[in-house]
Structures are given as structure tokens and as C-alpha cells.
Amino acid sequence: MKIVQVKDYKEMSQKAAEVIIHKVKQENRINLGLATGGTPKGLYEAMIEDHRKNGTSYQHVTTFNLDEYIGLKEQDPNSYHYYMAESLFNHIDIPKFQTYLPNGLADDNNHECEQYDRLIQALGGIDLQVLGIGQNGHIGFNEPGTSFQSSTHIVTLEESTRKANARYFNTLDDVPTHAITMGISSIMNSKEILLLISGEEKADAMQKLLHGEISEDFPASVLKRHSHVTIIADQKALSGVL
Ligand code: F6R
């Protein structure tokens, strides 16, 4: 794992945007894996700014998001469909039909999971996957204990994850209890991974990632088995390891 140390959230976002924009410009076709949450917001803002200023085009880009809550409509401001539209897709020239997220309202969730993995494979796999990390080491919604062999699947969200995400909802009760997430093996199939880590609340996770053992109890530790991972981490996240 290559570690890029940056000063703060802003610099992390800027550096991540540079990596993605460079790839997008270089390739004729590219499949990006995207995440939601607080971490990639600044990255998406930097991509939008670059699109406006420099005209970087996303016409040839296809995106696959890691996860979606079960039970929220696309138009629900807390759905990840809504987040992605508002935070990125509505502000760049990517064709809407080239942006994929798991469908949290499918009649048959298991079928939806299988289809999602199949679709990613059929379209050539993910070239570059952006990841954030949970304080408990989760990636996507793969909570501690998730099998490293897992493909896209349905998860019951841990109380700690629901609490961490409750800031976006009116009450904790409004936070869905289940989600669909790309599995650990789906994530590991990506050709390249860009993990963004910012803030002191992630310092413990950063420390475990770098110095802990590879274990399903700490899902992100699997990334040590991937041959092309870049971590962009800020000073606060690195405060426990430097
Ligand atoms: C969201 C996702 C999650 C987040 C993680 C960190 O698509 O995959 O694993 O990356 O929960 O969330 P933030 O960035 O809000 O700290």
C-alpha cells in the first residue's frame, strides 16, 4: 500500500481529484467505483470545479457505487442515489445511464445483488475504486466479520454505523436498518483502489490498518492483499502512526 501524506481534508480531496482526473483524461473508457459519506464530498467538489474550469469530460466514464440503503426512494435526500446526483452527477457531463448504484427498492434483493456483480463484470470491471473507511474498519457497508469472499450482498447495519450516519437523518430511527453493499471480493476485484482517510476520528482505524493483522474483524485490512492500493491520509488521521 502506498501512502500519500497530506496536510488536511482539502489537500486530500485535491490530490484524489488529481489522480482521478488524470486517469479519466488518459483512458478512452473507464469504470470508476465511487463511495458516499463525508469523506469523498471534497473530492467530488474538486472534480466539479475542474470540469467547469478545464472542461474535463466524463462522457466515456461509467460509475458503480459501493452501496445503497434498502427502502429509500431515489428521490429521498438520504438515499445514495440522491447524494450522488447532488454531489457529482448533476454537475458533470456524465450520461445518467452510465451511473449505477444498487437498487435499494428491488422486489428481490438477492437477485439485485447478483445482478450488480454481473453488471460490473459484464462492463469490464472497476478500473479505479474510491473508498472511505468506517471507524470500525468497514469498507462499503462491509462490517467487521464480513467474509473476505463476499460478493455484493444485503447487510444489517451495525448500531455504531447507524449512529455515525444519523447526522444526515432527522432521528436515529429514520436511519435504515439494511443496505446493499458491494462485497469485499467485489471491491478487491477492482484493478486499483484509492482509499481516503481524514480526521482524528479515523486515527485509530488508520493505526489498525497499518499495524494490525489482516483479519475479517477489521474489513479494510484485506486491502493489504491488493497489489495496487494508494491511501491518501491527512495529518489528523495519521496522528497515531507518525
Ligand atoms: C459509503 C461507504 C462507507 C463510508 C464510511 C466512511 O459509500 O462506502 O464505507 O466510506 O462509512 O464514512 P464517512 O466518509 O462519512 O466518514
pLDDT in tens, 27-74: 999 999 999 999 999 999 999 999 999 999 999 999 999 999 999 999
Whether ipTM tops 0.95, in short, is yes
> Is the CB–ligand 1 distance for residue 92 below 6 Å?
no
Instruction: Please check whether residue 220 is in contact with residue 137, taking contact to mean a CB–CB distance below 8 angstroms.
Output: yes
Query: CA-to-CA distance for 115 and 121, rounded, in angstroms?
Result: 10
Q: What is the mean pLDDT of the chain?
A: 97
| Complete edge-to-edge strand list for the sheet that includes strand 178-181 | 67-69, 178-181, 153-156
Query: CA-to-CA distance for 101 and 85, rounded, in angstroms?
Result: 11
Atom number of ligand 1 nearest to Cα 141? 9
Place of cell 454481473: 118
**Which pLDDT value is given to residue 201?**
95
Tens digits of residue pLDDT in 159-173: 988 998 899 899 999
Q: What percent of the chain has pLDDT over 70?
A: 100
Tens digits of residue pLDDT in 123-151: 999 999 999 999 999 999 999 999 999 99
Q: Which of 143, 153, 165, 189 is catalytic?
A: 143
Question: What domains are defined for the chain?
Answer: 2-234 (3.40.50.1360)
> Is the CB–ligand 1 distance for residue 176 below 6 Å?
no
66 C-alpha to ligand 1 centroid (Å): 10
Query: CA-to-CA distance for 208 and 211, rounded, in angstroms?
Result: 5
